[in-house]
């Protein structure tokens, strides 16, 4: 099964998880590149505003074609109880070109349910599995079992079909 892990990460937490999942699954990876500078306190505020307004970011054209993968795993940080603006942009562009999907996010505390429901709505596709991790558990390395369980849930779901 050919898999792609696609993600956006502003400060590296979601990227760390994406790379670990890709290594466990032997999947390709692609980082979504945003054209807006989101560094520092101003970047934080802009990002919060974009997410609250459900605004899609302007992103660089992705290199990998999602339709050439059996499974596309999508990762986002949670911003203002929403998906991040760059991931919103990616989903809008990739809609209709993703066969099977699964979602993961990293967050300070909450917002995963709302973000995942909206990701599902944009894609018009139910994820095979969902994984929400706290930034602090990723930083402390306490999330590895949850990653493995996530991959197990994906393979059970996909093999069943």
Ligand X SMILES: Cc1cc2nc3c(=O)[nH]c(=O)nc-3n(C[C@H](O)[C@H](O)[C@H](O)COP(=O)(O)O)c2cc1C
- Residue from 64, 108, 144, 152 binding ligand X (CB under 6 A): 108
Closest C-alpha among 126, 62, 47 to residue 93? 62
Pairing outcome for strands 100-107 and 82-83: unpaired
- Cβ nearer to ligand X, comparing 11 with 35: 11
Report the SS3 class of residue 134: strand
* Binding region for ligand X (CB under 6 A) out of 9-17, 23-31, 88-96, 150-158: 9-17
Cβ-contact 4, 64 below 8 angstroms: yes
- Cβ nearer to ligand X, comparing 100 with 131: 131
- Residue from 48, 55, 56, 120 binding ligand X (CB under 6 A): 48
Minimum distance of ligand X from residue 77's CB (angstroms): 3
Minimum distance of ligand X from residue 70's CB (angstroms): 25
Minimum distance of ligand X from residue 55's CB (angstroms): 12
Longest CA pairwise span in the chain (Å) = 47
Sign of the CA dihedral running 32, 37, 41, 46: negative
- Residue from 19, 30, 44, 99 binding ligand X (CB under 6 A): 44
Q: Which two tokens stand for residue 148?
A: 């493995």
Closest C-alpha among 109, 83, 79 to residue 6? 83
Q: Is 110 among the residues that bind ligand X (CB under 6 A)?
A: yes
Residues that bind ligand X (CB under 6 A): 9-15, 44, 47-48, 77-81, 106-111, 135
């Amino acid at each position: 099964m050919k898999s792609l892990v696609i993600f956006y990460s502003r400060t590296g937490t979601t990227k760390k998880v994406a790379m670990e999942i890709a290594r466990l699954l032997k999947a390709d990876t692609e980082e979504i590149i945003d054209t807006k500078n989101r560094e520092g306190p101003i970047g934080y505020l802009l990002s919060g505003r974009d997410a609250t307004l459900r605004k899609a970011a302007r992103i660089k054209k992705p290199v990998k074609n999602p339709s050439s993968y059996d499974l596309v795993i999508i990762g986002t940080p949670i911003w203002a109880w929403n998906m991040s603006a760059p991931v919103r942009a990616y989903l809008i562009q990739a809609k209709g070109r993703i066969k099977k999907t699964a979602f993961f996010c990293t967050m300070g505390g909450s917002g995963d349910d709302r973000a995942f429901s909206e990701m599902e709505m944009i894609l018009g596709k139910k994820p095979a599995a969902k994984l929400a991790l706290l930034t602090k558990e990723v930083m402390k390395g306490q999330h590895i079992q949850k990653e493995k369980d996530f991959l197990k849930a994906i393979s059970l779901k996909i093999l069943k079909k």
